Structure 1
């Protein structure tokens, strides 16, 4: 793999997923603690999802959560991952994101998508067939409002009359936008049309993995058609991982919470999973053929994580940011250790943080004979020059 193909930025994509048996208040605060830990460990981004039903993904307003996270962190960038555009009047959403951008002093990012859960759309009376069309209708208005334009627009679900934002994004270059993409090219087309970044949420799913390069080609062609410059560093890939010192330990730790994911998959699909015989069997399935919607997980060592990311880089041709899918599959102590292992051993591999240190030691090794010889000669010369003074000191009556 060419070194430049690997990501140089890393973060978390937190839906989040939580067992139904836990305390929801503490679970939300645990998500805040994970973002705080990520900031301390030098991760560059954290993305928070929006969901309104099905029980496990319990953050309904990511911008509210991120405002709280901003008060606990210093430098990590904070993104909505994602705002479901059909659920919001676009001017109101743009207003909230601009406020968040100022509260975070320019650390905010806006991820957008059509909405994932059919139960969310059903409660709001939204036809699932129209969700992507609605996303396109909203995105065109959002981009114009965030540029400071005055917009009049009418659709079946919103009406704007000379709408404009009174508060624009914090930075002159505006608010960074990213569009969710999975298997279909819809997200790539929308991102390319408006010059937004691409957020590939299903990179570890076999179908999503195979779609990475085709969707990138759609994205680059659409970007060119609309006069935008393509930048691979704005491409983000998401995959689930849990790390430990050994693969066996990581697998055991993942057994702690894999059951709630299996139950979630079964409840949403209405089908019994054949591998729901034990936690161990579920983890083996997840790291093998994978789970529906969650794809294949890397549950192992930092070396396993590096191998997975390198495969993603080869498959995609190169991307800028890798995001760990936050699943709460292990308990909190194991989750923290995993985040630390990734920061300590995986991130430096791709950022090449130690390249000069390695080069320095290699130079010392390559020149060791000459340098040690010079050092030895220097010590001998010092003894020869000052030998008489040393002898006198030893024999002057105070020594010996």
Structure 2
């Protein structure tokens, strides 16, 4: 089993932006040294707790400070971008990464992200259509030779053919051909996105929000999508994200998780998820009332919290519940004492990893 990071990122609003980005960078550098396989960095423009409007900038900085860690967007919110600019920025980033870049994609965004671009979250079909068109343009632009034209519902694009005398025209292609590995994140049980990942042979990533009973359903969608395209789904490509907090003892792990993961949940996530499908997705039993989804419930049933042996047991339980997966993505945390976060990452690799090394 491989280990990676999913950096939403989550930062309390009292943390300065500069300190947030320094903390994120420190964790990425540590992850590289410890041997984490990859890290995915989130994107939001209007989410104060997830203050990452330009993850490619943080990725570019981290690339210069790491050697092996693969870095990716987690995810690019397609509807918020102009495809020509996006294609160029990502291709340039891929060259800077020399093959260590992965492109995570997602549709839409939170309502306030959409609103700042003049889009209406109450019209999800329009947002999905725009996202699909952005993706289509980027991939076709990267694959094109010579003059490129695209005339769709949202974009009219005419990219000029390269003039060999003036050396002007469309020329930028990614470093990894035909394009960087593409990953699709999914946070709902009946996700069309996760099925598309299987169909197109892309990396499927299951959100940390889904409790164990829903994981088999995600794999079934991945396999169904792959079968529709005449291929066999590969479990080693499947990423599952989880909030993880490891400490030397079970009691210390719970104390720290309550202070950090509990703070994130009570102050940020719960107010935004109340009454939503996201709350229902975290329930082991669908009949549970929403108010039962509290910090104690999450700590024992959804999050991976404990000493190294307890966390290894919970990872094994997760693995067996869904039939196997390739990479566990640990959601990064931002404790007031940064050493807690660093200890958790170190223990996950050095103490938990060996205990689940047989899972492959």
TM-score (norm 1): 0.76
Residues 113-152 of structure 1 mapped to structure 2, 5 A cutoff = 113-128=106-121, 129=124, 130-148=126-144, 151-152=148-149
Question: Match for 1:31 among 24, 35, 42?
Answer: 24
Equivalence for 1:383: none
2:348 & 2:160 partners in 1: Cα distance? Answer: 45
Whole-angstrom CA distance in 1 between matches of 2:100 and 2:206: 21
1:168 correspondence with 2:173: yes
> Which stretch has the larger CA shift, 150-159 or 17-26?
150-159
The equivalent of 1:157 in structure 2 is 154
Task: Between 254-263 and 68-77, report the one with greater CA deviation.
Answer: 254-263
2:229 corresponding residue in structure 1: 226
2:183 pairs with 1:178: yes
Pick from 296, 312, 336 the counterpart of residue 284 of structure 1.
296
Contact 2:206 2:218 in 1 (8 A): no
Structure 2: which 5+ runs fail to align? 162-169, 280-288
- When Rg is computed on C-alpha atoms for both structures, the one with the higher figure is 1
Q: Is the Cα–Cα contact under 8 Å of residues 255 and 329 in structure 1 kept in the other structure?
A: no
Aligned pairs for 1:335-346 (under 5 A) are 335-346=341-352
The within-5 A match list for 1:329-340 is: 329=335, 331-340=337-346
Distance 1:342 1:52, change over 3 A: same
Say which SS state the counterpart of residue 259 (structure 2) adopts. coil
C-alpha contact 2:43 2:76 (8 A) present in aligned 1? yes
Check whether the contact 1:200–1:238 (CA below 8 A) recurs between aligned residues.
yes
What is aligned with 1:259?
263
Deviation, structure 1 residue 141: 2.9
**Is the 2:265–2:295 contact (alpha carbons within 8 Å) kept by the matching residues of 1?**
no
Q: Which residue of 1 aligns with 2:165?
A: none
Native 8 Å contact 2:133 2:154 kept in 1: no
Residues 331 and 233 (structure 1 numbering): CA distance in 2 closer, same or farther, change over 3 Å?
Answer: same
Measure how far apart 1:266 and its partner are: 4.5
Larger mean Cα displacement after TM superposition, 176-185 or 209-218: 209-218
Q: How many residues align?
A: 332
- What is the TM-score normalised by the length of structure 2? 0.83
**Range with bigger deviation, 315-324 or 344-353:** 344-353
Structure 1 portions without partners, runs of 5+: 1-7, 290-295, 354-400
CA contact (8 A) 2:3 2:327 kept: yes
Taking structure 1 as reference, are residues 121 and 233 closer, same or farther at Cα in structure 2, changes over 3 Å only? same
Alpha-carbon displacement from aligned partner over 1:336-390 (angstroms, at most 9, x marks no partner): 111111110122233359xxxxxxxxxxxxxxxxxxxxxxxxxxxxxxxxxxxxx
Measured in 1, the distance between the counterparts of 2:215 and 2:135 equals 22
Q: What SS does structure 2 have at the residue aligned with 1:256?
A: helix
User: Is 2:88 aligned against 1:110?
Assistant: no
Aligned CA distance change for structure 1 residues 147 and 80 (closer, same or farther; 3 Å): same
Aligned-partner SS, 2:85? helix
What secondary structure sits across from 2:89 in the alignment?
A: helix
Aligned equivalents of 1:148 and 1:195: distance in 2? 21
Matches of 2:214 and 2:243, distance apart in 1? 18
Tell me the CA shift for residue 195 of structure 1: 2.3
Evaluate the alpha carbon distance shift between residue 196 and residue 145 of structure 1 in structure 2; reply closer, same or farther with a 3 A threshold: farther
Aligned-residue offset at 1:99: 0.9
Aligned to 1:92: 85
Structure 2 equivalent of residue 387 of structure 1: none
CA distance in 2, matches of 1:221, 1:89: 31
Change beyond 3 A, Cα 1:146–1:313: farther
Pairwise CA distance, 1:227 = 4.3
| Deviation at residue 64 of structure 1 after TM alignment | 1.1
Q: Deviations over 1:252-308 (max 9, x none)?
A: 12233332431113543578x9999xxxx964243146xxxxxx2122111222122
1:249 aligned residue (248, 252, 277): 252
Instruction: Report deviation, 1:239.
Output: 0.5
1:12 maps to 2:5: yes
Would you say the 8 A contact 2:111–2:120 is kept in 1? no
1:230 offset after TM fit, Å? 2.7
Q: Note if contact 2:91-2:174 (Cα within 8 Å) is conserved in structure 1.
A: yes
Q: Are 1:189 and 2:174 counterparts? A: no
